[in-house]
Amino acid sequence: MIKSSTILSFLLIVFLATSCNNGKSLQKYLVETSGKEGFMTGDIPVSSLISAKANVSEDIKETIKSIKKINVVFLAKTAENEAMYEAEKKTLKNIFTNKDYKSLGKMKAQGMNISVYYTGETDSLDEVIAFGYSNEVGVGVARLLGENMNPAKMLDMLQNITMDENSVKSIGGMFKD
């Protein structure tokens, strides 16, 4: 008869082996690319980009507060880093095969392939992620982090906010040569 301690040890090993996730997560990818040569990275506080228009509802104000920040990583494609571009594109595509990332849709815009994903529940999002790549421009990902973001309320919010043009231009300037 097998000892109970042997069975418990075996179950513990099985549990640990199955609970370990050797796959890459988006968070791990963002950390690993921060400061890496060739990558442009940044964390953007939402409050520096958007503010509510005058006389908006409390719902709109609460929706803005539910959005915490935006993480951005971008690798511009050059003739010298074509292999790196392909590797990063493959890595990001692999990350988004994880079942935690639910697809909101895909599109092509100005030669760029863009996929949008989310995590959380359909009425209470934790993250909204845009992943894009182009052979002419490069590859990048932007992750909007928040708490219990409601998609319907976010669409309503977009109609009732103002964007700080100078902040948008300075962020856009990060991605130009």
Query: What's the rounded mean pLDDT across residues 148-168?
Result: 71
pLDDT at 162: 64
User: Who's near 44: CB < 8 A, 6+ residues apart?
Assistant: 69, 70, 71, 72, 171
Dihedral angle sign, alpha carbons of residues 47, 53, 55, 61: negative
pLDDT (tens digit per residue) in 65-100: 888 888 999 999 999 999 999 999 999 999 999 999
Q: Is the pTM of this model over 0.85?
A: no
Mean pLDDT (the chain) is 79
Residue whose C-alpha is closest to residue 42's, from 73, 77, 88:
73
Q: Terminus-to-terminus CA distance in the chain, angstroms?
A: 70
Q: For the ranges 62-71, 113-122, 130-139, which has the lowest average pLDDT?
A: 62-71
Report phi then psi at 60, rounded to 5.
-65, -45
